[in-house]
Amino acid sequence: MTTGGQPRQPVNGRTVPSRCHTAARVTAAVFGAYGFAWGLASFGAELGALAGMAPAEAVTTSSLLALLVLPVVALWAFAVPRVVVGWAVLGGGGVLLTVAARLAGVAAP
C-alpha cells in the first residue's frame, strides 16, 4: 500500500510488492480461485454421479462445497508467500480437476 508518488518503502518489515506482483496476486485470487472452484464443482459432480447420486443432487452438493472453498482459496492467494505457487496450485489444480472430471464423465457408463 503506497501513497501517491512516494518511493516504495518497507512496511512492517515487508517490502511493498511491485505492481506486476500485485496484479498477479489479484488475478490469482479472482480467476485462479474461480477456476479452482469450477474444477472442484465439476469433479465433485462427476464423482457424485459415479457414486450413484441423482444428477441434480450431485450438482447441488458439489457446487455448495465449491462455494464454501472459493472465498478461502481466494484469500489464500494473498497469504501464500510466493504468488507463483498460488497460481500453480489454483490454476493448475483447477485445470487438473476439470480434466479429471472430463475423464470421469467419459469413463462413466
Residues at the contact surface with other proteins, assessed by CB under 8 A: 1, 3-4, 12, 14, 29-30, 37-42, 44-46, 49, 53-64, 66-68, 70-72, 74-75, 78-79, 98, 101, 105
CB of 98 to other proteins, least distance (A): 8
Of 97, 108, 106, the C-alpha closest to 44 is 97
Q: What CA–CA distance (Å, rounded) separates 67 from 82? A: 24
Looking at beta carbons only, is 61 or 88 nearer to other proteins?
61
- If one counts every other C-beta atom within 10 angstroms of the C-beta of residue 10, the result is 8
Looking at beta carbons only, is 65 or 88 nearer to other proteins?
65
* DSSP secondary structure letter of residue 70: H
